Amino acid sequence: KVIPSNGSASGSQATGKRLKVICGANTSYLADSDWLKEATTTKRGSKGGTPLTFCEVRVSPSNTVKPNVGANELAEALNRVLPFTAKGDDRPVLACVKFEAKDGKLTLVSADGFRLAVVSLDYADGEGQALINRDELKGVANALRKAKRVRVSFEQGGEQLTSKSLIIDTELIRYKWVSLDGSYPDWQKLIPTEFNCLAHFDTVEAIKAVNSLKALADSKGYSIDLTIGNGKLVMANPDDRGQADISADTDGEGFVRLNGSNLAEALKACGGMVDFKLSSPLAPTLFSTNGYQIVVMPMITDKAQEY
């Protein structure tokens, strides 16, 4: 339970702005600006202090919500796109998840320059878009899983006249984020539409194969060769140290080399049965399942060019 102390505390605890926090038999008081410090540069060049986020949270046990998306579906969508945002601070736009409502769909998009993840949900409540930093969305998916009703909406206004805000309402909490002002890449053009071969297989078996090949690699930056054909998907170590054959429904033949870590994360995010499509070893590959798509860029090698 969190309430303003309002002078109810004794002595110095009642001085200034404070929050009274009760958790079971424990009671504490948090002063205004506790743990929040301006970022400072140390002698070693690193920045200290706690980074500030920009999510407005309003708690109201009687919040009335008319749902327009499923709580579990939105939580799963967030978990599927967050791993594929850029991790560094040098590309702020790619460090965001793009929320876009249009044509009866709410689409969540993330990309890091090597991978692109897209998931769409039914949404018949207007249009809007917002760019929200990945760090501000951490933990939201777990909270949404506990909600009974969820409503997603977009609102004009913010620090700039062109700013937009993303609002997620549940029956208890309202989350509001001001969108980053920036231009997101035209992600639709990055999704391949023409393919020469297809493999439909179980990601559980594929993940086991990737983990086995990872153990044979010399470094963390390992790569894996994938060959499609004759009713199976063959995953092999480029140095011929080992390979794994996975049963698959295949159409056509093809080869591509992918970064092992990128492949493992894509398989984990898809889960269950997945369609893997490619046109050539030099072109982007596509993993898709139930309206969820992940584009993974290939590794360009002499073998790929010869193939």
Q: What is the pLDDT along the chain (307 residues), one digit of tens a residue?
A: 888 765 554 545 545 678 888 989 999 888 877 766 555 544 444 454 444 557 788 888 777 889 999 999 999 999 999 999 998 778 899 999 999 999 999 999 999 999 999 999 999 988 999 999 999 998 899 999 999 899 999 998 655 545 689 999 999 999 999 998 888 999 999 999 999 999 999 999 999 999 999 988 777 778 999 999 999 999 998 888 889 999 999 999 999 999 999 999 999 999 999 999 999 899 999 999 998 999 999 998 777 777 6
Can you give the pLDDT at residue 50? 47
3-state secondary structure 33-80: CCCCCCCEECCCCCEECCCCCCEEEEECCCCCCCCCECHHHHHHHHHH
- 3-state SS class at 273: strand
**Radius of gyration (Cα) for the chain, nearest Å?**
24
pLDDT of residue 6: 59
User: In sequence order, which residues have a C-beta less than 8 Å from that of residue 141 and are 6 or more positions away?
Assistant: 74, 75, 76, 78, 79, 82
Report the SS3 class of residue 125: coil
Residues near 9 by Cβ (< 8 Å), separated by ≥ 6?
A: 18, 20, 29
Distance between alpha carbon 22 and the CA centroid of its chain, in Å? 33
Residue 129 class from Cβ within 10 Å (0-12 exposed, 13-18 middle, 19+ buried)? middle
Look at residue 59 in the predicted model and tell me its pLDDT.
85
Instruction: Identify the pLDDT of residue 8.
Output: 53
Give the C-alpha separation, 277 to 192, whole Å: 9
pLDDT at 160: 52
Tell whether pTM > 0.75.
Answer: yes
Are the beta carbons of 297 and 212 closer than 8 angstroms? Answer: no
Tokens for 194? 């023409």
Half-sphere exposure of 200 toward its Cβ, with a 13 Å CA cutoff? 6
CB 120 within 8 A of CB 93: no
Which residue in the block uniquely carries the two structure tokens 């309402």? 169
Question: What's the distance, Cα to Cα, between the start and end of the chain in Å?
Answer: 64
Locus of tokens 């460090």: 95
- Per-residue model confidence (pLDDT) at position 156: 81
